[in-house]
Structure 1
Amino acid sequence: MLIIGPEAVDRALSYEGLIEVLRTAFHDGAVQPVRHHHTVERPDGADATLLLMPAWSDLKAAGTSENGHIGIKIVTVSPDNNAINKPAVMGNYLLLDAATGEPQALIDGQKITVWRTACASALAASYLAREDAKTHLIVGAGALSVHLAKAHRAVRPLERVLVWNRTAANAAKVVEQLQADGFEAEVAEDLDAAQAQADVISCATLSTIPLVKGALLKPGTHVDLVGAFTPAMRESDDEAIVRARVYVDTKAGATKEAGDIVQALQSGALSEDAIVGDLFDLTRGATQGRQSADEITLFKSVGAALEDLAAAIAVYRSQA
């Protein structure tokens, strides 16, 4: 069994390449049971979350002699880690041979997660963001922020990146990294003002209160909501949902776990039949993406085990 660390994952993947891997994965499909979601109570701090995300493909990979794969991601989300300078999200990915069950690789789960999450958002943006989008606002300064900027620039000609975070010093660190990678980036000191400028807004936080406000969105904005992976969390308000054509990564996951969707359904701001489509629909041409330059689009992801499986297989094949 291969042990594949974070540096090897970074070497194995590219944004353009993984976006296309995910496009194919959603088009072709895989078995992905509803993920296991457990709360780990901690009396001395914020509760942690344990996620188990299984998925598997056919016994034989399509068009090849290669066996398919079974995969499971084991993830913990510990909000208090930020206070001790550790990532909130920890995890590993176990890849198995689908025919025999033989372990094939243990892959760094944090890297798999940030790569596939950013590229899934960029995949959605390839259908939903304006083709002339120029300004990208990133809300949150966690491990995903740089990946979101790079992945979206792989599908749209984004020239300027604004980064907002409650702790401005953390936003400044992300800006420095982006500038070192050739981006025109700056700290957004006023979140409301930055929203009014943005063509694409990516929100990747652990917030329980809306940060993206529908009243501030200009015509043509694409909103990408990545955080709020439980029903109690939320990154956008009802008005953002009402003003937008709403898409999700998977309907089954988003309508049960995504706070932005669950709470909007409960308030009546959204109905299930008003969700235009998911990534399966978009990649298969079963629903259309952006319809006009002025419409507001909103994509909400909670993460799909299919994404992890596709990314893990791509990493594993790169080691052969």
Structure 2
Amino acid sequence: MKVFTAADLAACSYGDYIEALRTAFQGQVTAPQRFVDDTGPATTLLIMPAWDQRFTGIKTVTVKTDNGPLGHPTVQASYLLIDNETGAPVAVMDGTELTRRRTAAASALAADYLAAKTASTLLLVGAGALAPHFARAHAAVRPIKRVMVYNRTPEKAVSVAQEIGGEAISDLEAAMAEADIITGITSATGPVIKGAWVKPGTHIDLVGAYKPESRETDAAAVAMSRVFVDTRDGALHEAGDLLMAQKEGQFKWDAIQADLFELTQGKMLGRKTDAEVTLFKSSGTALEDLAAAAMVYLRAS
């Protein structure tokens, strides 16, 4: 059995991950609804299985919201890849790095259908470990020339901006007026990205809220957008931004335009006009982990 470290996973480009996910969404992968439970006041456990004809994969994830002050990652994970022909484990991988890269790749894949072709200014709302990955993944599908970074702790925004050659900003409203793509990767439970601040033609990419009672946008941002999701089932269970907007009477579930299956298979159109606002809500799916893990394993074999 091979062991893949974070460095091994970084050997594959963001384009490699994006295309692996595109192929998976176009194919036949089974990914049951993930198991999620709070195992402590600040700890959530997720177990995510998926399989296709060749491989089965299982990811275990712990989300520790109190890890920041301790200097540890909020999300920590491991991944086990199994060969279906023999039933034997063939690889174990750094699931934390795998999660970061496939999550960024999923949003970039969506942006390839939903962001304006000329989108060149990216705003990262949140400066955690995911932020650099999103900057690089979006740059793999759009001509990103400027990256702004906002965080409630300004020092973190400065650190990430220095790492990726971007700029830390303190005025979120002003930054949103300039951004072509806005990525929300926060741990916020209440609205940070507000519809009143979104300019025409923006693509909103929401990743941070992963529970039905948490959100990064207000209902106005959802109401003004053509809404897309990674999977409809995952969104129905966990997309707090959409669920809470629905509860407030600003969104109806049948208003979802398409998921990544329909977009990648050409069954539904993505962006239609330069002026429309598009919104992609990523809840995460084990399909993405399996696709990414299998790609890394096969490239090393």
Q: TM tier, shorter chain? A: over 0.9
Where does residue 182 of structure 1 map in the other structure?
none
Identical counterparts, % of pairs: 49
CA distance in 2, matches of 1:119, 1:153: 11
Q: Cα RMSD (Å) of the superposition?
A: 0.8
Where does residue 6 of structure 1 map in the other structure?
6
From 72, 79, 82, the counterpart of 1:86: 72
CA distance in 1, matches of 2:73, 2:95: 12
Where does residue 292 of structure 2 map in the other structure?
311
CA distance in 1, matches of 2:176, 2:236: 26
Deviation at 1:175, TM superposition (A): 0.7
From 144, 160, 164, the counterpart of 1:178: 164
- Aligned letter for 2:8? A
CA distance in 1, matches of 2:244, 2:233: 15
Question: Could you give the per-residue CA deviations for residues 203-244 of structure 1, whole angstroms, max 9, x where no partner exists?
Answer: 101110111101111000000001101012100110000000
Deviation at 1:81, TM superposition (A): 0.4
CA distance in 2, matches of 1:261, 1:101: 39
- Aligned letter for 1:214? G
CA distance in 2, matches of 1:21, 1:106: 19
CA distance in 2, matches of 1:258, 1:206: 14
CA distance in 2, matches of 1:125, 1:317: 26
Question: Is the partner of 1:18 in helix, strand or coil?
Answer: helix
- Gaps of at least 5 residues in structure 2 are none
Question: Could you give the per-residue CA deviations for residues 40-64 of structure 1, whole angstroms, max 9, x where no partner exists?
Answer: 123xxxx210000000001xxxxxx
From 162, 165, 172, the counterpart of 1:191: 172
Deviation at 1:280, TM superposition (A): 0.3
Deviation at 1:265, TM superposition (A): 2.1
Where does residue 288 of structure 1 map in the other structure?
269
Where does residue 58 of structure 2 map in the other structure?
72
Deviation at 1:83, TM superposition (A): 0.7
Question: Is the partner of 1:240 in helix, strand or coil?
Answer: helix
Question: Could you give the per-residue CA deviations for residues 135-160 of structure 1, whole angstroms, max 9, x where no partner exists?
Answer: 10001111110010111011111110
Where does residue 229 of structure 1 map in the other structure?
210
Where does residue 61 of structure 1 map in the other structure?
none
CA distance in 1, matches of 2:3, 2:141: 31
Where does residue 57 of structure 1 map in the other structure?
52
CA distance in 2, matches of 1:241, 1:258: 12
CA distance in 1, matches of 2:141, 2:300: 27
Where does residue 249 of structure 2 map in the other structure?
268
CA distance in 2, matches of 1:100, 1:113: 26
Where does residue 134 of structure 2 map in the other structure?
148
CA distance in 1, matches of 2:209, 2:86: 37
Question: Could you give the per-residue CA deviations for residues 63-112 of structure 1, whole angstroms, max 9, x where no partner exists?
Answer: xxxxx000010000001000111110000000001232201111000110
